[in-house]
Amino acid sequence: MSPKLRLGIAIGFVFAVLAAAIYFPILKRRVKKQAQVQQKSEEQARLELVQSLNAASNEPKVKAKLFWAADAEYSELVANTVELPLSNDPVLRSKQVLSTLLAGPVDSELRTLPPDAALLAFYILPDGTAVADFSDAMANSIPSGVQSEQFAVDSIARTLEANVPQVLRLRILIHGQAVETLAGHLDLSGTFPVSTKPVPPAPAPAGVPTTK
Amino acid sequence: MPSLFHCASAIAGPSACISFGILLCVPLMNLTNLMNALIRRIAAVSFAGVLLGALAVHSQTPSPGPPSASTTTPPNSQNPATGRAALNIVVLDPAHGGTDPGARGSAGIREADIVLELTAQVRHGLENQGFQVLQTRSSNENPSFDDRSALANAQTGAIFVSLHVSSTGLSGTVRAYTMADMAMPPTTGGLIPWDQAQASYLSLSRKLGDAVQGELTQRFKGSPMNVQSAYVRQLRTTAAPAIAVELSSVAMEDKADLDRMLPGVADAIVRGVVTFRPSYVTPAVPGNAPGAKP
């Protein structure tokens, strides 16, 4: 190898190291910034829900039924009556009751949903199927197990059933995506029955039951 | 898209540095030739990467595994004339495994490990009763839900028992679950949709679940009297009487307490399966309630 070539290689390496030293801090800053943006969007979803609750504060307070665990051992779900100013609009009303459900009971051991989970979006299709989109924390922070995951879904479904009669069935998304299970056990690929009234079959994805 | 951008940046950054270095290393080369050479090399490397990626994906796809089509013909439904077959195979499914530890307790208890120990004990008891036992996994691996179901769906005269440990519930209790109600799938030519394979077996699954839960309740105070229903993903695609059994819980402070439960749980499952054995019938026609035997 000629001295000229060796010198060229050496200079090349020096430049490569210098370029990397300049570039990596920039990359790090970008990643950090992106993480903050994502965090902000979830925080924004929470704020929107709180604002929607405040907007409805002019509404007369009604007795809403929210379902949490009866005890720390998850023996059953029980209805808790809470006075809330609820909108007559079914979508807004659903957001209000679900945000209160997510906020949890006074005794944190009775909560059925993770404290850091947020409702990102909620809408109701013309056939009565409600679509609830939760943040990643709903799947990542929930205690893993058939019992705990079924309690989480049941508490949402029964709370909607008790307070929003327009909702006939429920589809759950995680961060806008259809996922196979909630936390490794409970099937989220289809819809869950909400209303105990006879419900027409849903045009849901094949697989999971749509009606009781 | 931002994450994609960062990925591209992360790759492009060092590559740019190296390319820059190469440019400086060969100052005498014609610039056009150098660019052409670089483009050819990048193209060759990209092609090799795509080829390797495709091979990797292909090698991860289980060849006999779950059908890519959305239907299955369970062996059990191939003889609709008789509607009877002997129950002689039990497929045991230790849940989770591999990179998925399942539920984890603060004392370091991992669901994936406990259920593997439990499976060994249940297997021993069932084999003593003359059953052939198959396992969806025997080591620290994590087959897909469909692969696990496929093992049971390929058998004649089989039941499926999935084993779990929860994060919640009264410590020292055990619950058996069946799949919650499912809409009956449309049937064409004896084929049932893979995604609704359990629908025709729900009635039998409940009988099996009640038999096992009855035994569990006798041994573990505070356990429910009857089988529970839940939308358990693993059970949905299984074309056989299928239950999930879940112990409470990984939250126990001492793993020895959980270990002490295992022989009792294993014995209850074995006795439940033996009790259920005479009730076993194959659904005559998918869509009809199986298990017509009172």
Task: Encode pLDDT of B71-103 as tens digits.
Answer: 555 444 443 334 556 899 999 999 999 999 999
Q: Provide the edge-to-edge strand list for the sheet that holds A129-134.
A: A119-124, A129-134, A169-174, A192-193
Question: Concatenated DSSP letters for B42-79?
Answer: HHHHHHHHHHHHHHHHHHHS-SSSS-SSSEE--GGGS-
Write out chain B residues lying below 8 Å of A29, CB-based: none
- Range of lowest pLDDT (A6-15, A174-183, B5-14, B252-261): B5-14
B214 touches A at CB < 8 Å: no
CA dist., res. A91 & res. A126, Å (int): 12
**CA nearest B245: which of B281, B219, B280?**
B219
Query: What's the one-letter identity of residue B25?
Result: C
Q: What is the length of chain A?
A: 212
Model confidence at B11, in pLDDT bands (50, 70, 90)? very low
Residue B193, token pair as written in the block: 């949709």
Q: Directed axis angle between helix A90-103 and helix A146-163, to 10°?
A: 140
Helix extents (H) in B138-191: 145-153
Nearest to A145 among B103, B195, B196 (CB): B103
- Best of B3, B168, B182 to disrupt the A interface by mutation (most A CBs within 10 Å)? B168
pLDDT tens track for B99-151 = 999 999 988 999 999 999 999 999 999 999 999 999 999 999 999 999 999 99
- Best of B7, B11, B24, B247 to disrupt the A interface by mutation (most A CBs within 10 Å)? B24
Residue B245, token pair as written in the block: 């059994």
CA dist., res. A204 & res. A171, Å (int): 9
The predicted pLDDT at position B283 comes to 67
Antiparallel, parallel or unpaired: β B158-165 and B89-94: parallel
Query: What's the one-letter identity of residue A86?
Result: L
Model confidence at B185, in pLDDT bands (50, 70, 90)? confident
Write out chain A residues lying below 8 Å of B9, CB-based: 27, 30
* Cross-chain residue pair A30–B9, CB shorter than 8 Å: yes
Assign residue B149 a region: left if phi > 0, alpha if psi is -120 to 50, beta otherwise?
Answer: alpha
Q: Return the SS3 of B120.
A: helix
The predicted pLDDT at position B151 comes to 98
- Please give, rounded to a whole number of angstroms, the shortest distance from the CA of B174 to a CA of chain A: 11
Supply the DSSP symbol for B27: T
- Range of lowest pLDDT (A29-38, A57-66, B147-156, B207-216): A29-38
Domain spans of chain A, in order of start: 38-193
Supply the DSSP symbol for B277: G
- Best of A140, A142, A187 to disrupt the B interface by mutation (most B CBs within 10 Å)? A187
Collect all residues with Cβ–Cβ distance below 8 Å to B46 and sequence separation of at least 6. none
**CA nearest A68: which of A13, A31, A106?**
A106
Could you give the angle at the alpha carbon of B78 between the alpha carbons of B123 and B155, nearest 5°? 20
Write out chain A residues lying below 8 Å of B201, CB-based: none
Please check whether residue B6 is in contact with residue A27, taking contact to mean a CB–CB distance below 8 angstroms. Answer: yes
Supply the DSSP symbol for A186: B
**Window B:251-290, CB contacts with A under 8 Å:** none
Between the alpha carbon of residue A102 and those of residues A98, A162, A183, A190, B171, the distances in Å are 6, 16, 17, 22, 26
B143 touches A at CB < 8 Å: no
Residue A174, token pair as written in the block: 């995680």
Write out chain A residues lying below 8 Å of B177, CB-based: 146
Write out chain B residues lying below 8 Å of A19, CB-based: 16-17, 20
CA dist., res. A160 & res. A167, Å (int): 7
Q: Return the SS3 of A56.
A: helix
**For residue B249, is the peptide bond before it cis, meaning its omega torsion is within 30 degrees of 0?**
yes
Q: Return the SS3 of A116.
A: coil
Looking at per-residue confidence, does A34 or B4 come out higher? A34
CA dist., res. A173 & res. A130, Å (int): 11
* Cross-chain residue pair A146–B27, CB shorter than 8 Å: no
- Please give, rounded to a whole number of angstroms, the shortest distance from the CA of B110 to a CA of chain A: 11
